[in-house]
Structure 1
Amino acid sequence: MGLLEELKTRMLTADGAMGTLLYSYGIDYCNEELNLQKPEIIEKIHQDYIAAGADIIQTNTYGANAIKLERYGLENQIKEINEAAIQIAKRAAAPGGQFVLGTIGGIRGIRKSDATIEDIVRMVDQQANHLLTGNPDGLLLETYYDFEELSATVKYLRSITNTPIIAQVSMHEPGILQNGLALNDALHQLEALGADIVGVNCRLGPHHTIQAFEEVTLPKKAFLSAFPNASLLDVEDGRIVYESEADYFGRAALLLREEGVRLIGGCCGTTPKHIEAVKKYIGNLAPITNKVVTPRKPIVIRDAEPPKSQPIHEKVKTERTIIVELDTPRHLDITTFIEGSKALHATGIDAITMADNSLASPRISNLAMGSMLKLEHKIRPLTHITCRDRNLIGLQSHLMGLDALGMHDILAITGDPTKVGDFPGATSVYDVSSMELIQLIKQLNEGISFSGKPLRKKANFSVAAAFNPNVRVLDRAVQRLEKKIESGADYFITQPVFTKEKIQEIYEATKHLSTPIFIGVMPLTSIRSSEFLHNEVPGIKLSEDALERMRACGEDKDRATAEGIQIAKELIDTAAELFNGIYIITPFLRYDTSLELIKYIQEIDAKKERDHTYVQTSN
């Protein structure tokens, strides 16, 4: 009798964690390589789970795909590793006739950039075909946080095999996926795609797994499965541990049965003792066939408060918009920064932008200074957020704080690596890329946290993305812009540009895009700083003409400043003709130079308006 036939009439017990046991043996490298190097260890673990009462065991192939094996230089041994794994499992199961599942693990977490769907399907095809060669009783898809990935995988596998498919999602929060989709909806969608068994595994312990199933209705054709962790994880003396009594885990299996689950196994932290306890409590019990679900009252997500001023990305579509960058201080004296901000604001600019520890050097928090500008001086702040300094927890907390303060203008960037800054030994986090950060911010705008949890209110962020046009092949940079637009970018802010020709090239390369672009203009102040920018700062390249003009000023500071302003004005002439958005980058808190450039832009616009009025009057 096959796996699905068995599940029609009785509960089945699957095995528990493989990695937990290997970790306890002191093995902390590529688990899948052991299929070739130490197959006796893997077979012994299978046998221990079978002895504990498991009706089903799974192959040691969770990470046996090209991406994960590449970390260990084993990407050319995918065939050997997968085929060996199923042979080992079949050998262990032969005496007792246990079912053997070929395991395929998820690849994406929060980061969609880890692999495209096309890459994932290609790898699934490769791994699945090696597993199917061994004629498994089913294919187990486990630990999938990204529902798009799991859906594509199920759909593809169903197109190439009739072998039973078990599709299991993983959740950060009970009952909801990280994209905000309800577990019940997700499982029924997987059933519709062709999965024979649908369920959950990993991340949550028994308590929260049971809670998640309380709102899950019984599928029409598929069966439900659950492979909880032993408990929430803990760390003791640098080692990961799971605190859970086996008997507690076994009693939880009875509660999972009441929620309609027919296949119960274990994930992280579980051992043969946990599986023995599950078998003790559920034995060969018949599964329940009827279940009444009382939906919980849904959490209402309120709309965001209407913005008090027009979003920058909307205004710039139709009229001149000027934003000015002013770096927060690297010391604790904020006098000049506040004075400069007030002077710039008085000119009527649209926002003051503040970098997020540019060049990986610590400055006063732009959240602190931005809130001070907004609350005390009624100045609109546009804060930069890097992926470098905060993990996902810190990023979401930071963004929630910005929303609470009413600071809704953001530039999302990757951030310079710590090696270029004051503390080269510091850790660069980079949990996500700038594109993924944009997507997550837009998810907050829907009232959904990074983990999928409802936030009770929608955020209202206007999100800018960075654009570095100072590259050899501009078309590639524009392709990256298009991907950022797909991620949700509302507008772009460029690195400083130092030639009229580059501005014109940007216009021609991006005129097919409807997403606004702010052209960055940075007044130079000396030949030394110019050489530094040109030769050492990533993403900035000066023209040879600009460098020669600054060299001609020698050490005359006043002459150098005047020349730098003149170069900037010439760039503004071209930028203002082709783009509504101008981004002035204030050098070294020299806000007097920015004030002169703002005045120049306003004079250009005033003259243009006078000329337009004159033409209309003449006609």
Structure 2
Amino acid sequence: MDFRQELSKRVLVGEGAMGTLLYSHGIDHCYEEMNTTDPDQIEAIHRAYTAAGADILQSNTYGANYHKLKRYGLEDEVSVINRKGVELAKKAASKQAFVFGTIGALRSIRKNDLDIEEIKRSFREQLYSLLMEGPDGLILETYYDLDELETVLQIARKETGLPIIANVSLHEIGYLQNGLHLNEAFSRLDALGADVVGLNCRLGPHHMIRSLEEVPLPKNAGIAVYPNASLPEYVDGRLVYEAVPEYFGSSALKLREQGASIIGGCCGTTPKHIGAVKKALGTLAPIKEKASKARQIEIIEVDKKDQIPAIHLQAKTKRTILVELDPPKKLGIEAFMAGSTSLRDAGVDSVTLADNSLASPRISNLALGIKMKNELNMNPLIHITCRDRNLIGLQSHLMGLQTLGLNEVLVITGDPSKIGDFPGATSVYDLSSFDLISLIKQFNEGLSYSGQSLGQRTNFKIAAAFNPNVKYLDKAVQRLEKKIACGAQSFLTQPIYSTSQIEDVYQATKHLDTPVFLGIMPLTSSRNAEFIHNEIPGIKLPDSVRASMASAGNDPVKAKIEANAIAKELIDATMERFKGIYLITPFLRYDMTAQLTQYIRTTDKEKPAEVIEHE
């Protein structure tokens, strides 16, 4: 039988889930490994789907790539597991069924976990292993990132003339996670040579039907749909799918009406669901014409005066001063508010509020930020870490910040929880700092992570972290440039303690238009200096600085005098090259950063404007 001919004559029935079926049997380890350790069970599941009427079987190789197998110490078994997966599906298939080699996506919401070159290498290894067993075609499934799918589809199309099914997964009805409409995604995959374009996973039949309503039939490709059985329920620590097979079968007819020429099942589906699909479809042919609904596009009006592109750099004659003031670890904010008032009166442009720095719980910076804004008429810059909130929490947090009018943010990865007060707490890291910067930029365009409209645009000014305390500064600048590409509009650095390092940072970043705020954190004692030098990764104090602080001994007055002199020398060097300065308050000693702010303001008045070079 020729797959392409059969596809034009009748709606083909795909296989149902493998992983969730094994999971329901109490198996919770690597499913792909079972191709070699328990082949009889895998073959039995394939046979059950064959008996239910599946026309297309998929090899049990969804996650049989180097990176996912490595989690189980199986990275050297890529070839044998993939080849065995095709072999088992072939043994179970009827003479009328096709066997497709399955390759799943590597990227999910964490787009930056793997770069595209590593994805290519891993994909080729799995692809070649599958092709060695002579499948009837390939199915690329559960791709949230269209860039990844387009990349691997081109590789596969170059290497084989076999039929290829290319399936994306949606976060929202009709839209990929980057806001691209499903119709555009299908058109691009069709143009790249996919025989079938489609949807699988995450959504059930109802939402997949709705997703296809605005999609016309592709020019060349067929459409595949592999819905989940339903939304899952979490019962006694396990995910349970409750969809009735008969409903799944009746939904297949509606999916056909929307252009589906292959209908199978994903998470939660069983041979009973596939049997219901087969019974409902019989020998029906795919539709040849379709009137799709007009796509509804929401236009978001923007008032340009509300769109502030970046942290304000002041007029040519005035320096921009940011000061970090850590929220308290304990309840009671009198000292914090007094410090904020002192900094305001000293002339700071914005007070930055850390987000549970060093992975230790502190009073919410959002709560303090709104109090500063409302009670002191101050302009807080809110730090946001990737550590403490999952994707749901991050999006909710951003919408809350916008609602409260707190629009200046600093995106940081966040120290891992194991270094903080609660080392057993979970570090989330659903998104990298690059991903979060991109998400906030997308919010400024009026789109959520899923690509759906937010109803209005946000006007966040996006700052990012820049660590110059590294061995290879050029590599750090490359990382900075990558953040700019993601949407970063300004940078705050970690503290610097060397005037020569300030010059190095200037030379390395002077080609950029993006403002860089040099971090300066005054020392408090010789012991503090030795701690930073010896125990803070990446920061080394010059011998002269350590000696100066040591000369003060245990006298706090002398220590403050030495610390101020060191900080002022660093400030003077920064003012020769940079227009922005980022003062970091040590241990809530706001008197130190207030005095340094006054020093900067006084020096600004005395210093000719044309000396300021770097903006």
Aligned twin of 2:14: 14
Aligned twin of 1:617: none
> How far apart, in 1, do the equivalents of 2:87 and 2:164 lie?
19
> How far apart, in 1, do the equivalents of 2:221 and 2:315 lie?
52
Counterparts in 2 of 1:375-524, with a 5 A limit?
Answer: 375-524=374-523
Structure 2 gaps of 5+ residues are none
> How far apart, in 2, do the equivalents of 1:38 and 1:258 lie?
40
1:330-354 Cα distance to aligned partner (Å, 9 max, x none): 1222112112212212233211111
Counterparts in 2 of 1:213-224, with a 5 A limit?
Answer: 213-224=212-223
Aligned twin of 1:615: none
Letter in 1 for 2:21: L
> How far apart, in 1, do the equivalents of 2:534 and 2:133 lie?
58
- In the alignment, is the contact (CA less than 8 A) between 1:495 and 1:539 conserved in 2? no
Is 1:63 the counterpart of 2:63? The answer is: yes
Letter in 2 for 1:599: Q
1:431-454 Cα distance to aligned partner (Å, 9 max, x none): 111111111111111111112221
Aligned twin of 2:35: 35
1:526-561 Cα distance to aligned partner (Å, 9 max, x none): 122223333333454322222221121111111111
Where do 4+ consecutive residues of structure 1 move more than 4 Å?
Answer: 313-319
Aligned twin of 2:126: 127
Q: Secondary structure at the match of 1:142?
A: strand
- In the alignment, is the contact (CA less than 8 A) between 2:325 and 2:588 conserved in 1? yes
- In the alignment, is the contact (CA less than 8 A) between 1:325 and 1:353 conserved in 2? yes
Number of aligned residue pairs: give it.
Answer: 611
Residue 368 and residue 540 in structure 1: after superposition, are their counterparts in 2 closer, same or farther (change >3 A)? farther
Letter in 1 for 2:462: V
* RMSD of aligned alpha carbons: 1.8
Is 1:256 the counterpart of 2:255? The answer is: yes
Counterparts in 2 of 1:79-478, with a 5 A limit?
Answer: 79-93=79-93, 95-303=94-302, 306-307=305-306, 311-312=310-311, 315=314, 320-478=319-477
Is 1:49 the counterpart of 2:53? The answer is: no
Residue 437 and residue 611 in structure 1: after superposition, are their counterparts in 2 closer, same or farther (change >3 A)? closer
Q: Which moved more, 1:166-175 or 1:334-343?
A: 334-343
> How far apart, in 2, do the equivalents of 1:473 and 1:267 lie?
47
Q: Which moved more, 1:219-228 or 1:23-32?
A: 23-32
1:273-301 Cα distance to aligned partner (Å, 9 max, x none): 00000001011112211111121432233
Residue 317 and residue 456 in structure 1: after superposition, are their counterparts in 2 closer, same or farther (change >3 A)? farther
Deviation at residue 30 of structure 1 after TM alignment: 1.1
Residue 14 and residue 304 in structure 1: after superposition, are their counterparts in 2 closer, same or farther (change >3 A)? farther
- In the alignment, is the contact (CA less than 8 A) between 2:347 and 2:598 conserved in 1? no
Letter in 1 for 2:92: A
Q: Secondary structure at the match of 2:604?
A: helix
> How far apart, in 1, do the equivalents of 2:196 and 2:610 lie?
72
Q: Secondary structure at the match of 1:40?
A: helix
> How far apart, in 2, do the equivalents of 1:391 and 1:444 lie?
17
Aligned twin of 2:554: 555
Letter in 2 for 1:194: G
Residue 518 and residue 483 in structure 1: after superposition, are their counterparts in 2 closer, same or farther (change >3 A)? same
Letter in 2 for 1:232: L
Q: TM-score, normalised by structure 2?
A: 0.96
1:388-413 Cα distance to aligned partner (Å, 9 max, x none): 11111111111111111121111100
Letter in 2 for 1:92: A
- In the alignment, is the contact (CA less than 8 A) between 1:316 and 1:580 conserved in 2? no
Q: Which moved more, 1:259-268 or 1:480-489?
A: 480-489
- In the alignment, is the contact (CA less than 8 A) between 2:309 and 2:489 conserved in 1? no
Letter in 1 for 2:65: N
Letter in 2 for 1:347: A
Residue 610 and residue 278 in structure 1: after superposition, are their counterparts in 2 closer, same or farther (change >3 A)? closer
> How far apart, in 1, do the equivalents of 2:609 and 2:141 lie?
67
Residue 610 and residue 352 in structure 1: after superposition, are their counterparts in 2 closer, same or farther (change >3 A)? closer
- In the alignment, is the contact (CA less than 8 A) between 2:313 and 2:580 conserved in 1? no
> How far apart, in 2, do the equivalents of 1:456 and 1:610 lie?
43
- In the alignment, is the contact (CA less than 8 A) between 1:318 and 1:580 conserved in 2? no
Is 1:25 the counterpart of 2:25? The answer is: yes
- In the alignment, is the contact (CA less than 8 A) between 1:313 and 1:462 conserved in 2? no
- In the alignment, is the contact (CA less than 8 A) between 2:317 and 2:604 conserved in 1? no
- In the alignment, is the contact (CA less than 8 A) between 1:313 and 1:491 conserved in 2? no
Q: Secondary structure at the match of 1:31?
A: coil
Letter in 1 for 2:576: E
Aligned twin of 1:566: 565
- In the alignment, is the contact (CA less than 8 A) between 2:245 and 2:276 conserved in 1? yes
- State the percentage of identical aligned residues: 57
Q: Secondary structure at the match of 2:199?
A: strand
1:288-323 Cα distance to aligned partner (Å, 9 max, x none): 111111214322333366348783255489952111
1:332-385 Cα distance to aligned partner (Å, 9 max, x none): 221121122122122332111111111111111111111111122221111110
Residue 259 and residue 308 in structure 1: after superposition, are their counterparts in 2 closer, same or farther (change >3 A)? closer
Q: Secondary structure at the match of 1:32?
A: coil
Deviation at residue 12 of structure 1 after TM alignment: 0.8
Q: Which moved more, 1:242-251 or 1:503-512?
A: 503-512
Deviation at residue 490 of structure 1 after TM alignment: 1.0
- In the alignment, is the contact (CA less than 8 A) between 1:170 and 1:177 conserved in 2? yes
- In the alignment, is the contact (CA less than 8 A) between 2:308 and 2:460 conserved in 1? no
> How far apart, in 1, do the equivalents of 2:465 and 2:309 lie?
21
> How far apart, in 2, do the equivalents of 1:121 and 1:384 lie?
35
Residue 497 and residue 223 in structure 1: after superposition, are their counterparts in 2 closer, same or farther (change >3 A)? same
> How far apart, in 2, do the equivalents of 1:312 and 1:583 lie?
12
Q: Which moved more, 1:107-116 or 1:391-400?
A: 107-116
Q: Secondary structure at the match of 1:289?
A: coil
